[in-house]
């Protein structure tokens, strides 16, 4: 009797977990459908500024220990085409390594050439990137600020491409699409590009074109300074200050515009540890923002469709926790199914699996086709990309749990190496993160899912084989790659690794939890 109760509990928990993931899959399909309905629509400026009426613009370049890319982003920003008497560049440098001397020297050289560029260094790093942007905004000369992270190469036309949208006084922010400097560098960067293209091509377009909230991505976007101030300014009680400010500004009534025809190329993380560091920050920060703002969003007078989309957008990374639970339950579910006399009820998992996986496949194939043309390359990369997404479940699931329940706000910058498709990492060293102890869980899950796959093959559970294979490959790919990178870093010597290590800190103002 007790054994039967345990089996029933496992089956119910398994189906519930799969059902939650299927709901997020259905939401992804709804986003895709919205995009397809509005794909030919293009946001155009209401009118255009006359040359004599162009407003003052400040380009802000926040950076911290960007030794290999600081000069590149400064020089690219200096080449931006805009009237020099209405153009300012702020290099907001919190670096603790040689980046400071490189950035300062480049700013001084450009200033001697007549460019209005300021090198700004704070007395402390309080607030990290949000604190740097807030500090720079206090002395910015521009009515509008365009932010670029250090891993971007700002296009020459970027200011002119975006500024005319602000002829509409209701517009508070305009976001450009991210391009990729090193998309073809490796299998990992190709998969990352595919993931990001789905976000920018479909998610942003679908949300913006249907009147839902979407977010400034922290870089390659231009803000009206009045909108920042009206929304309460840059705040640093989450590690995704961009998403936090975006929702507060839209709740305050400011309109956002997505301009996908404007592309700003950026460097993708070239190694697994850097990629996971970036994903961890995004996952944790989005859940922190949900904890901070969801109640306020639900209580606001915005339409129900905006509230629904905000819920799915801000809680999406919680799905990684359910993905881990699903991985753990697959083996006992499979064994219980074999012992049941009437297992037809469990056939519910097949359509729910397809609701999840099918939506992912369609989503990213369409994004790739509309970005680059053709579908075959997307189809070839899709299994690896899906496996990579599953393999991130330990990393992102942990981030979601910490974002939901933790009070600590830890910021870890994403290491950059200056890589492009034509060349690898620049310089004699490349910043790289460590291999945290919890990455061993990825290997444990990988071996466990491999054992589940063996059982599936032995018991001829053919419907489960494709899905279990993705879990096995994904966890092993992420876990083994992280292990090999950590082993390579240790061989370089602890002193060198410590010099390259991105700093981690705790915020002096921990965020309160929303019930």
Q: Is the pLDDT of residue 168 over 80?
A: yes
* Cα–Cα distance, 352 to 116 (Å, whole number): 57
Q: Is the pLDDT of residue 419 over 90?
A: no
Q: What is the pLDDT of residue 463?
A: 80
Q: What is the pLDDT of residue 461?
A: 84
Average pLDDT, integer, range 52-69: 97
Average pLDDT, integer, range 184-203: 97
Q: What is the pLDDT of residue 94?
A: 96
Higher pLDDT, 358 or 235: 235
Q: Is the pLDDT of residue 309 over 60?
A: yes
Q: What is the pLDDT of residue 436?
A: 66
Q: What is the pLDDT of residue 462?
A: 84
Q: Is the pLDDT of residue 298 over 50?
A: yes
Q: What is the pLDDT of residue 510?
A: 35
Q: What is the pLDDT of residue 4?
A: 82
Higher pLDDT, 356 or 215: 215
Q: Is the pLDDT of residue 276 over 70?
A: yes
DSSP-based three-state secondary structure for 208: helix
Per-residue confidence at 456, pLDDT binned at 50, 70, 90?
A: very high
Q: Is the pLDDT of residue 215 over 60?
A: yes
* Cα–Cα distance, 60 to 64 (Å, whole number): 13
Average pLDDT, integer, range 48-67: 97
pTM of the model: 0.91
Q: What is the pLDDT of residue 506?
A: 34
Measured in Å, how far apart are the chain's first and last C-alpha atoms?
A: 38
Per-residue confidence at 54, pLDDT binned at 50, 70, 90?
A: very high
The distance from CA 86 to its chain's CA centroid, rounded to whole angstroms, is: 32
Average pLDDT, integer, range 153-160: 98
Average pLDDT, integer, range 196-206: 97
Q: What is the pLDDT of residue 374?
A: 87
Q: Is the pLDDT of residue 497 over 70?
A: no
Higher pLDDT, 131 or 486: 131
State the burial class of residue 13 (Cβ atoms within 10 Å of its Cβ: 0-12, 13-18, 19+): middle
Q: What is the pLDDT of residue 194?
A: 97
Average pLDDT, integer, range 490-503: 44
Q: What is the pLDDT of residue 514?
A: 34
Q: What is the pLDDT of residue 411?
A: 56
Q: What is the pLDDT of residue 408?
A: 62
* Cα–Cα distance, 466 to 353 (Å, whole number): 11
Average pLDDT, integer, range 252-274: 97
Q: Is the pLDDT of residue 427 over 80?
A: no
Per residue, the 3-state secondary structure of 460-505, as one string, reads CCCCCHHHHHHHHHHHHHHHHHHHHHHHHHHHHCHHHHHHHCCCCC
* Cα–Cα distance, 274 to 345 (Å, whole number): 43
Higher pLDDT, 447 or 353: 447
Query: Which residues are catalytic, by number?
Result: 94, 242
**Length of the chain measured in residues:** 515
Higher pLDDT, 395 or 123: 395
**What DSSP line would sit under 393-411, residue for residue?**
HHHHHHHHHHHHH----B-
Q: What is the pLDDT of residue 439?
A: 86
Average pLDDT, integer, range 208-215: 98
Higher pLDDT, 491 or 240: 240
DSSP-based three-state secondary structure for 89: strand
Alpha-carbon torsion, ordered 326, 393, 411, 158, to 10 deg: -120
Higher pLDDT, 177 or 435: 177
Task: Convert the pLDDT of each residue in 400-411 to its tens digit.
Answer: 999 999 766 555
Q: Which domains does the chain have, with CATH numbers?
A: 55-268 (3.90.550.10)
Averaged pLDDT score across all residues of the chain: 89
Q: What is the pLDDT of residue 5?
A: 87
Q: Is the pLDDT of residue 351 over 80?
A: no
Query: Which of 44, 226, 64 is closest to 145 using CA atoms?
Result: 226
Least confident span in 25-34, 243-252, 471-480, 483-492: 483-492
Least confident span in 26-40, 380-394, 477-491: 477-491
Per residue, the 3-state secondary structure of 280-310, as one string, reads HHHHHHHHHHHHHHHHHHHHCCCCHHHHHHH
Q: Is the pLDDT of residue 513 over 80?
A: no
Per-residue confidence at 503, pLDDT binned at 50, 70, 90?
A: very low
Task: Convert the pLDDT of each residue in 98-120 to its tens digit.
Answer: 999 999 999 999 999 999 999 99
Query: Which of 314, 452, 473 is closest to 390 using CA atoms?
Result: 473
């Amino acid at each position: 009797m007790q054994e039967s109760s345990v089996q029933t509990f496992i089956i119910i928990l398994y189906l519930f977990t799969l059902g939650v993931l299927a709901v997020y899959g259905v939401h992804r399909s709804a986003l895709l459908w919205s995009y397809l309905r509005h794909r030919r629509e293009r946001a155009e400026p209401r009118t255009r500024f006359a040359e004599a009426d162009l407003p003052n613009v400040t380009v802000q370049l926040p950076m911290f220990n960007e030794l290999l890319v600081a000069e590149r982003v400064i020089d690219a920003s200096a080449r931006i085409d805009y009237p020099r008497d209405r153009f300012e560049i702020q290099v907001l440098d919190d670096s603790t390594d040689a980046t400071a001397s490189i950035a300062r020297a480049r700013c001084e050289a450009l200033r001697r050439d007549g460019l209005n560029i300021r090198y700004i260094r704070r007395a402390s790093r309080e607030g990290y990137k949000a604190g740097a942007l807030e500090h720079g905004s206090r002395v910015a000369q521009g009515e509008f600020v365009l932010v670029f992270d250090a891993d971007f190469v700002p296009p020459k036309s970027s200011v002119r491409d975006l500024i005319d949208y602000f002829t509409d006084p209701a517009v508070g922010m305009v976001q450009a699409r991210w391009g990729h400097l090193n998309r073809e560098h490796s299998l990992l960067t190709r998969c990352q590009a595919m993931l990001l293209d789905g976000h920018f091509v479909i998610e942003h377009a679908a949300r913006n074109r249907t009147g839902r909230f979407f977010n400034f991505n922290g870089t390659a976007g231009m803000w009206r300074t009045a909108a920042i101030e009206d929304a309460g300014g840059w705040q640093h009680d989450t590690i995704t200050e961009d998403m936090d400010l975006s929702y507060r500004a839209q709740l305050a009534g400011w309109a956002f515009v997505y301009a996908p025809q404007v592309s700003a190329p950026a460097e993708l993380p070239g190694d697994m540890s850097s990629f996971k560091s970036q994903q961890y920050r995004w996952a944790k920060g989005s859940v922190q923002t949900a904890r901070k703002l969801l109640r306020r969003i639900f209580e606001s007078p915005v339409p129900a469709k905006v509230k629904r989309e905000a819920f799915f957008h801000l809680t999406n990374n919680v799905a990684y926790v359910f993905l881990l639970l699903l991985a753990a339950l697959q083996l006992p579910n499979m064994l219980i199914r074999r012992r049941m006399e009437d297992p037809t009820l469990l056939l519910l998992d097949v359509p729910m699996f397809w609701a999840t996986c099918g939506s992912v496949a369609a989503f990213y194939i369409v994004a790739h086709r509309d970005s680059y043309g053709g579908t075959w390359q997307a189809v070839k990369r899709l299994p690896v990309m899906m496996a990579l997404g599953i393999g991130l479940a330990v990393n992102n699931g942990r981030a979601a749990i910490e974002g939901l329940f933790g009070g600590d706000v830890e910021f870890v910058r994403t290491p950059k190496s200056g890589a492009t498709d034509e060349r690898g990492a620049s310089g004699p060293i490349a910043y790289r993160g460590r291999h945290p102890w919890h990455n061993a869980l990825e290997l444990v899950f990988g071996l466990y899912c491999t054992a589940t796959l063996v059982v599936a093959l032995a018991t001829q559970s053919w419907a489960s084989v494709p899905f279990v294979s993705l879990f096995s490959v994904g966890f092993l790919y992420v876990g083994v790659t992280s292990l090999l990178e950590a082993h390579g870093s240790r061989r370089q010597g602890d002193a060198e690794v410590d010099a390259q290590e991105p700093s981690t800190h705790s915020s002096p103002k921990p965020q309160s939890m929303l019930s």
